Amino acid sequence: MNIILFEKDELKSGCVVLTDHRAKHIVKVLHSELGDCIRVGEINGEIGTATVLSIKNKYPFLVELSVSLSAKPAPSPSIDLILAMPRPIMLKRILSQLTALGIGTIYIINANRVEKSFWDAGILNEDEYRPHLIHGLEQAVDTRLPEIKIFRHFLPFVEEYLPELSIQYSSCIIAHPDSGKSLSDCVAENDEGILYAVGPEGGWVDFEIKKFLTAGMNDFSIGPRILKVDTAAVSIHGRISQLLG
Amino acid sequence: MNIILFEKDELKSGCVVLTDHRAKHIVKVLHSELGDCIRVGEINGEIGTATVLSIKNKYPFLVELSVSLSAKPAPSPSIDLILAMPRPIMLKRILSQLTALGIGTIYIINANRVEKSFWDAGILNEDEYRPHLIHGLEQAVDTRLPEIKIFRHFLPFVEEYLPELSIQYSSCIIAHPDSGKSLSDCVAENDEGILYAVGPEGGWVDFEIKKFLTAGMNDFSIGPRILKVDTAAVSIHGRISQLLG
């Protein structure tokens, strides 16, 4: 946890009172004392510092902070992701890793090779996925919560939603090992927004690729190596970030 | 498992007999039958196909394969990694993810902010880490096992070993948030070998950075976001791969 984040409605008259894992972190990891200054941020708001006004360093922990917000977080790459619903345990890691790397919106969609049981997972509830996003923000010292949009049916997403969505990006690209194009054919320095798509274990089926191309996306390949979804999502994010410069 | 791998000494008169998780995979996931052809490879050898000569599809599983090796695996990026010993559970994932992405050698070293207890982990024994490397090869359809070299002391590595090692690479680079250089200042298209270094949670200390620079490495930054070790290792591998083209 490289920044202590709080919700807007936790800030009252310039103060925040913490009694949960954040208080424990301030006591046990930061070893903060009365009067110490720590880095804080308001979720979807500014970053700043806070002074420890009072502290109870035994269980149940309590920390009262006087907050001074001063700056927007560092800019984030303009990258969004379409992700075929992965195994739920993997989704948790992907959400926090991509939030740490910087991502605007993650569209979680269905695909032919997504196991139906994945859709029953609790992680698709906001109450369950939000902590993983906040974990990524706390890691990367950011406050901007990514948006998560869930589409349980492939065709309405790709036929109705995606064509209008895709025109908002400089480039919309889909990872597909059979493609003859490389990533640098599709993404240029100073592109303003990139939407990339990563398929399920086993890949997209041909029908899905065709639908994505019809909806305005470009296919690309990063080579013949077959990657797990989490490895591909993070590695391709790195490649795109490098190309954007 | 996108390829069935076997050790050189398992191949006898052109045949391999499998009785472990690989036999189970062939029966339960591939649903192979007598006469079917599957993709196989010899660890540190060639890739090819195998025909199912006999199969016992109930526990204990047994599959006998007639093997025909024919080609080298697809080329791998010429990238090696210096990794400050991470939390053991994270190391397992890093090993299989980087093996899947393609890596030559991973130098696991000590650093000031490495927790001492990490060095007691069983994962540092070859018997324990090798399966995670093979898991990465099975994922990526590769046969080339990365080399793992372990240095339990920082100074002998950086003062005695690294200066001679570093001259074998086109570029040796160390991720450091305070650097004023970007990755593209350090890596050029068609570079022949890249050695990159990723520090522990909390980063390298100044003394370590100085030692790395003295030993012939260049520092670079990918921006102010603080990443976990696994995210950084995979994302930077992606960035370097993209620059190498």
B196 contacts B79 by C-beta, under 8 angstroms: yes
Same domain assignment for residues A16 and A86: no
Which residues, in sequence order, are bridge partners of residue A62? A56
Does the beta-carbon distance from A234 to B239 stay under 8 Å? no
Q: Which is it for the CA torsion A176, A182, A186, A187, positive or negative? A: positive
Do B16 and B54 have their domain in common?
yes
In a shared domain, residues B142 and B23: no
Contact assignment for A231 to B100 by CB distance below 8 Å:
yes
pLDDT attached to residue A178: 87
| Structural domain count of chain A | 2
A140 at interface of B, judged by CB pairs closer than 8 A: yes
Name the minimum distance, in Å, from the CA of A197 to any CA of chain B: 16
What does the pLDDT read at residue B232? Answer: 98
Check A140 against B226: CB less than 8 A apart: yes
Q: What is the pLDDT of residues B99-114, one digit of tens each?
A: 999 999 999 999 999 9
| Residue A19, C-beta contacts closer than 8 angstroms, at least 6 positions apart | A60, A61, A62
How many whole angstroms separate alpha carbon A130 and alpha carbon A109? 18
The pLDDT score that the predictor gives to residue B178 is 87
One domain, residues A191 and A106:
yes
The beta-carbon neighbor of B140 closest among A2, A226, A238 is: A226
The predicted structure's pLDDT at residue A81:
98
Final residue of a structural domain among A44, A71, A98: A71
User: What's the whole-number mean pLDDT along residues B33-54?
Assistant: 97
Sign of CA dihedral B120, B125, B128, B129: positive
Measured CA to CA, the distance from residue B107 to residue A137 in angstroms comes to 30
A68 touches chain B (CB under 8 A): no
Helix, strand, coil share of chain B (percent; to 5): 35, 25, 40
pLDDT at A73: 87
The CA distance from B94 to the nearest CA of chain A, in Å, is 10
Residue B208 confidence (pLDDT): 97
Per-residue pLDDT of B132-190, as tens digits, reads 999 999 999 999 999 999 999 999 999 999 999 999 999 999 999 889 999 999 998 88
Q: How high is the mean pLDDT of chain A? A: 96
Report, in angstroms and rounded to the nearest whole number, the Rg of chain A calculated over CA atoms. Answer: 20
Domain with residue A196: its CATH number is 3.40.1280.10
Which residue stretches of chain A have pLDDT < 50?
Answer: none
Q: Of B71, B90, B116, at which residue does a domain stop?
A: B71
Do A23 and A61 form a contact (C-beta atoms < 8 A)?
A: yes
> Are B56 and B140 contained in the same domain?
no
Residue B174: partners with Cβ closer than 8 Å, 6 or more residues away: B82, B196, B197, B199, B204, B209, B212, B213, B217, B218, B219, B220
Write the ipTM.
0.96
Nearest partner of A18 among A74, A81, A63, judged by Cα: A63
Q: Report the DSSP pairing between strands B47-56 and B37-42.
A: antiparallel
**% of chain B beyond a pLDDT of 70:** 100
**A91 and A197, same structural domain?**
yes
Predicted TM-score (pTM) of this structure = 0.96
- Average pLDDT (B113-142) is 97
Q: Give the phi and the psi of residue A30 in degrees, each rounded to 5.
A: -80, -20
pLDDT at residue number B75: 80
Which domain range does residue B126 map to? 79-244
